[in-house]
Amino acid sequence: MSELEHNLRAVQQRITDAAARAHRDANAITLVAVTKTFPVETILAAHALGIRHFGENRVEEAASKIPIVNSQIVPSPITWHMIGHLQSRKVKATLPLFDFVHSVDSVALARRLNDHAQGLGKRLPILLEVNVSGEATKYGFAPTPREPFFDAAREIASLPYLDAQGLMTIAPIVARPVEARPYFRALRELRDELRARFPERAWQHLSMGMTDDFEVAIAEGATIVRIGRAIFGERH
């Protein structure tokens, strides 16, 4: 067994165990393998081991890898997730590459994505990024006061070429994973309020939890976990 396979199986088992402890179905949790800085060969090896969801943080890097990977897997069953901060000026380059954008952090960005998605004739699944911790170094909508956030969510949900499916956050760095739990709980509670306010939409996804804290995120309802280091090792 290769190191990559060993790491992947260990992560999958940890997801299964965390779901069982939370009395959840592990099949309802999507593992997005984060391949930032890793080459095409590593992505193809992970695909051969069964990974079908990959995440990239930077548009330029993704543009150098995604077309090559897709060309070698025909038809491509991969779903590509944009999980990093997205600048409006890079939207045009993003749309042909990615199937899912996690990091929509403003109404202006959402409008731009909608316009380019219309031009491509596609409906783009997105998540609204929320800065639950309030850290100045993080992007995302402020969760409080609630009304401005709900107003933004309403407008974004009305855009015809976007499919708003839930929320995403990045927890702060903490000494122990359990210390991240309040931030994940806060995102889940915000999502539950969204569902109550806009019941016509499922808001089914919570993208939260990375290598150091994904088990805690699963305990709080994560449906998507974004894991790189635990699978691929330290980034180059």
pLDDT in tens, 23-43: 999 999 999 999 999 999 999
Calpha distance 151→138 (Å, rounded): 21
pLDDT at res. 192: 98
Cβ neighbours of residue 67 closer than 8 Å, sequence gap 6 or more: 97
**56, 86, 134, 22 alpha-carbon torsion, rounded to 10°:** -40
Structure tokens at 125: 């699944």
Which of 173, 89, 171 has its CA nearest to residue 129? 171
Neighbour count for residue 30 (Cβ, 10 Å): 18
Provide mean pLDDT across the span 184-198: 97
**Burial (0-12, 13-18, 19+ Cβ within 10 Å), 21:** exposed
pLDDT at res. 47: 97
Q: Give, for 10, the enclosing helix (H) or strand (E).
A: helix 3-21
pLDDT exceeds 90 at position 1: no
Calpha distance 226→33 (Å, rounded): 6
Structural domains present in the chain: 3-227 (3.20.20.10)
pLDDT at res. 75: 84
Tell me the residue type at 236.
H
Determine the longest span between alpha carbons in the chain, in angstroms: 52
Provide mean pLDDT across the span 188-212: 97
Calpha distance 87→67 (Å, rounded): 21
> pLDDT tens across 34-68, in order?
999 999 999 999 999 999 999 999 999 999 999 99
Q: How large is the angle between the packed helices 3-21 and 40-48, nearest 10 degrees? A: 60
Sign of CA dihedral 235, 45, 86, 104: negative
Give the model's confidence band at 76: pLDDT under 50 very low, under 70 low, under 90 confident, else very high: confident
pLDDT exceeds 80 at position 223: yes
Tell me the residue type at 218.
I
Structure tokens at 39: 């080459």
> pLDDT tens across 128-162, in order?
999 999 999 999 999 999 999 999 999 999 999 99
pLDDT exceeds 90 at position 74: no
pLDDT exceeds 80 at position 165: yes
Burial string for 85-97 (b: 16+ CB within 10 Å, else e) reads: ebeeebbeebbeb
Neighbour count for residue 128 (Cβ, 10 Å): 28
pTM of the model: 0.97
